[in-house]
Amino acid sequence: MESVSKQELPGNPGIRGQEIPMNSSIFLRPPHLPLIAPSILAADFARLGEEAMDAERCGADLLHVDIMDGHFVPNLTMGPDLVAALARTTRLTQDVHMMITDPQDFIKPFIEAGASHLTFHIEAPGLKKVSPVDLIKQIHDLGATAGVSLNPETPPEAIQHLLNLVDVVLVMSVHPGFTGQNFIPESLEKVHWLRNRLSPRQRLEIDGGITIRSAHDALEAGADVLVAGAAIFRASQRAQTIQILRGDYPR
């Protein structure tokens, strides 16, 4: 299990050679790896502010925020107003994951609401109207880091032309739209393929069905950012769970 213990990393200027303010660059200059990103979708919706603050107190590195529009995926969740509200309650960087049909329409609203990282899906229908290269440029021009995500059925070759442009690649290890699904083991092959093609300054994130067991397998395959929802927010000992997911086993 020692192979998945966290690594201490020095700061770096980011893959585009530009200095990014520390409060918006945890992906580019991580204090350690792996990073743990609790998914607020699994939190108590009646207490989201408190839940976000508790995740921060318990040692989370990021707050993963799933945006669903009821079209690209069958569920409907959050928008820029919630991102703004969370920004008032926690200092954690919001890892905004746009599972939406037209991500190009929401780049500016989310960044203005306080998001410093946006990930869009390569499968989004709206990308027929705008190039993903242009979308990444728009995100970067507005001062945020950019990620691209792949659904379980999408081969990694679909984003090969974007790998030198994005800061983060997000592999879905469940079908997007609902929390609490079981981890898809075949996603690990995709993680391994991508890790061999990304630079050490680029993050490789995995989202879906992450438990202590699947976290170990994902880290072994090359992931260095773990999104975990139910595993953290439904745990009785959240701080210890985050510690174990990171690979730091209590002695």
By percentage, how much of the chain surpasses pLDDT 90?
Answer: 82
In terms of residue numbers, what domain contains 137?
Answer: 2-246
- At residue 247 the predicted structure's pLDDT band, cuts being 50, 70 and 90, is confident
Q: Kindly report whether the peptide bond that precedes residue 250 is cis, defined as omega within 30 degrees of 0.
A: no
Catalytic annotation on 54?
Answer: no
- Among 95, 207, 217, 224, the active-site one is 207
CATH number, domain at 55?
Answer: 3.20.20.70
Across the chain, mean pLDDT equals 89
Range from 118-127, 180-189, 225-234 carrying the lowest mean pLDDT: 180-189
* Residue 76, strand partner residues: 69
Q: Is residue 167 part of a domain?
A: yes
Residue 251 lies in a domain: no
Token pair for 81: 């107003």
Instruction: Give the residue with greater pLDDT, 70 vs 227.
Output: 227
pTM for the whole structure? 0.89
Question: pLDDT band for position 176 (50/70/90)?
Answer: confident
| Residue 66 a catalytic site member | yes
Listed range (21-30, 74-83, 107-116, 237-246) with the worst mean pLDDT: 21-30
Q: Evaluate if residue 223 carries a pLDDT over 70.
A: yes
Length of the chain: 251
> Does the structure show a pLDDT above 50 at 14?
no
Give the pLDDT score at 13.
34
Residue 201's pLDDT is: 95
Contact 226, 206 (CB under 8 A): yes
User: Which one of 66, 69, 95, 167 is the catalytic residue?
Assistant: 66
Under the banding of pLDDT at 50, 70 and 90, the label for residue 25 is confident
Whether residue 206 contacts residue 191, with contact meaning beta carbons closer than 8 Å, is answered with yes
- What is the count of structural domains for the chain? 1
